[in-house]
Structure 1
Amino acid sequence: MTEKLTITGSADLIAAVPHLLGNQPKESFVVLTARGNTLGATLRMDAPAEALPLDYAQMMTTYAAHDEKATATYVIVYNDETGGDDTLPYAEHVAALSTELAMARMPVRQVLLVTSTHWATYGTAEKNPLDTIRDSNANVTLTYFGSTPHLEVYNPELLGNWVLPVKAPEGTFEDLEMACLTWAAVLDADGMPDTETARALAAAFQHRHLRDYLFRDTITTHNGSFGDVLTGKFTARPDWDRVDRAEAVAFELMKVVPAGQRAPMLTLMGWLQWLKGSGSQADRYLKLAAEDVSDFRLAVLLRELINRGHIADVARDAEKSYKHRLI
């Protein structure tokens, strides 16, 4: 789907969030930036917990300000109300965030509250049923065109462990040349690689030196520096169709190796999600990588970047950034 999706009301806006993030937020604040009448970035942070209202508001506003074209914002608070009183969850944090966003010239158009039983305009007594989100035009349309944010993409039990592990190459120049040529051929081809090719690539990903080159060569608009590529500093707009394909191929490669050898592919998928601007989905894959291989270093380093609020350079550049097909 390449055409724009029309958001006609609050239920549509709430429905779009899981599709944009790749998962359903819980105990979170979500800020959606707006560029005139179109949506820009979608940002999610864990609910404040012990964070002071001003500190929390300034941090989230800093992230939102990376969208330099934003002219307004929407705020959605995801919180399960358990008390019987009428107090609003995180009222001081919402007030502080509204003030900070206004000072940053991104005034809040609307604040919404979503719980496990209803949704409402924040600060009102209304309790709208969640079915109105499920049945909204946005959710129906996005689901029809194949978006499935509630689908568990990675399930080790479903992938199975009844496959033999692969052996990493020695890392010679010949190994590197073969791995890069094979990776390029697979990304430029139609369909998925056969089992022999998939296992050869999965083996190459087990070697740190070869893996870094394969990561780099996923992007065709690079200056040769792995450090620059890793942080999303590209010479031009990357071929995002190729990036989408690399993510799909990485998932296929996980099927031909047992648990304990999937971390490099999970890290690739997480890194590509981060380049696209989806920090929440990226962190999910990187966490899985660090669980597949205890403290897998590249995944740990990338998670540290994300948790510090670092946004990939390419995701901050409107001319080079990934354009979500669904909205």
Structure 2
Amino acid sequence: MTTPTVVKADSAADFLRLVPRLVGMRPARSLVLAAFSGSRTGSALRVDLPAAGADLSAFADLYIGLICRIDQVDGIAAVAYTDATHREAIRGPEAALLHQVATCADRAGLTVKSVFMVAADGWSSAGHGSGRAAQPLATIQDDPVGDGLLDSGLLGRDLLDIDAAVRLSERPPAMQHRFERAVAARLANGADDLLQLDPSDRIEGALTATGSGFGLPDDATVLLAAALRIPALRDIVLLQIGWGAEFGSHAWRRGGEDRPVTIDEPTAMAFTGGDMARPDPARIERAIVRLKDVAALTPQDRRAPVLTSIAWLHWALGRGTLAGRFVDLAQSADPGYSLTRLIAALLANSVLPEWAYRDTPFSAQASRWRTTRARPPTRRGRR
């Protein structure tokens, strides 16, 4: 059992220094909503600022509604990050957005702890009655509290670089063509055995293999790429990444049964983000690295299955921004790929998995795929 560590923020500047750790990246052109339970926060939601002319009330209402689904939440702190100057921001749409956020939060029964504006040339409180004089950005850019905890791993060592996370390694066209021929041959000559025999052991081996290292299409990587191109196997691969080989085997057996899968079954709920135990984030992170290697080896026009699979994995981690970036890449490869359209629809409606709203960490001792509890009731005051 691990003991929760409390990081105390004694001032507004201390809190703003910790916000990047809460969202795992340095926010830019963003709205961040930190969810509080009493005086503590351990989770936050980051979204892009709304487009010019957007309905700010509807925008705020949507994301306050998502915050209300987090376990035991009773308050928020809101931070707007903008490229505008501080003088422009406190009189512009960023300030109007923060006002709408505070209004919607109050209507939902949430305590508004703090509201901040972080502009291109300074930051300040943006709450009602605040002096709103800009403070230097340097006062929130160092992270003494977070840096002191990095060695323990409690706040994570690296902040996510979105561009680096999306970037694929470059592979010579000749290597991609060799790989594509090997995948096509695997599909033509041996796809049936992947469907007729439980593939979970082979999938597990393919996920953990490291490749030949000589630019040759090794069998494990070819198998993984081939499996992702067969929709039924692709879904098993993704479920197995999240919940382990036992669940992958269960999904394969369930897919071979003669009765239809209903929405309340574990396989359906896992794939659509239903009321499931949290998937294993370490397995997902390793698989993302592995699938990015597969994508780099795959010619551009054949990448939709693997890029969409990476998008689903980021979505399963609650990373809507990265999921959206990989959806865009997948749609550029094949605009008609069906799973890409499904994930795009989920993101367009701000749908994240149920487990993203819980504060319970993944536990290897607990069941990885048994349903856990009913959805919490909507907080009073929500429209």
Shorter-chain TM-score: which interval? 0.7 to 0.9
Cα pair distance change 1:186/1:37, threshold 3 Å: farther
Aligned counterparts of 1:15 and 1:295: Cα–Cα separation in 2: 43
2:28 corresponds to which letter in structure 1? Answer: K
Judged with a 3 Å threshold, the aligned counterparts in structure 2 of structure 1 residues 99 and 4 are, in CA distance, closer, same or farther, namely same
Q: 1:246 to 1:56 in 2, by over 3 A?
A: same
| Matched-pair contact (CA < 8 Å) for 1:198–1:256 | no
Tell me, in whole angstroms, the C-alpha distance in 2 between the residues paired with 1:313 and 1:234: 6
Once the 2 structures are TM-superposed, how far is the Cα of residue 308 of structure 1 from its aligned partner?
0.5
Task: Give distance in 2, aligned partners of 1:147 and 1:200.
Answer: 32
CA distance in 1, matches of 2:74, 2:202: 45
Work out which structure has the larger RCO, using CA pairs closer than 8 Å and 6 or more positions apart in sequence: 1
Question: Are the structure 2 counterparts of residues 252 and 94 from structure 1 closer, same or farther at C-alpha, using a change threshold of 3 Å?
Answer: same
Determine which structure has more spread, i.e. the larger CA radius of gyration.
Answer: 2
Distance in 1, Cα, partners of 2:307 & 2:13 = 33
CA deviation digits over 1:113-168, x for unaligned, max 9?
11222222225443233333331225645877531323612324x42343224234
Segments of structure 1 that go 5 or more residues without pairing to the other structure are 323-327
1:289 aligned onto 2:330? yes
**Hey, which of these two has a bigger chunk of helix by percent?**
2
Query: Alignment length, in residue pairs?
Result: 319
Aligned counterparts, 1:90-169, within 5 A: 90=93, 91-122=95-126, 123-138=130-145, 140=147, 145-150=156-161, 152-156=164-168, 158-162=169-173, 163=175, 164=177, 165-166=179-180, 167-168=183-184, 169=187
AA of the residue aligned to 1:59: L
Unmatched tracts of structure 2, length 5 or more: 252-260, 262-266, 364-383
1:36 to 38, 48, 62: 38
The residue that corresponds to 2:210 in the other structure is: 192
**1:1-327 maps to which residues of 2 (within 5 A)?**
4=5, 6-8=7-9, 9-48=11-50, 49-81=52-84, 87-90=90-93, 91-122=95-126, 123-138=130-145, 140=147, 145-150=156-161, 152-156=164-168, 158-162=169-173, 163=175, 164=177, 165-166=179-180, 167-168=183-184, 169-170=187-188, 172-176=191-195, 177=197, 180-187=200-207, 189=208, 192-194=210-212, 196=218, 197-218=220-241, 219-220=243-244, 224=251, 226-233=267-274, 235-319=276-360
Does the 8 Å contact 2:78/2:115 carry over to 1? yes
Q: Is the 8 A contact 1:238 1:320 kept in 2?
A: no
Normalised by the length of structure 1, the TM-score is 0.81
Query: Identity rate of aligned residues, in percent?
Result: 23
Q: Please, what TM-score do these two structures have when normalized by structure 2? A: 0.71
Which deviates more from structure 2 when the two are superposed, residues 275-284 or residues 166-175?
166-175
Aligned-residue CA RMSD in angstroms?
A: 3.3
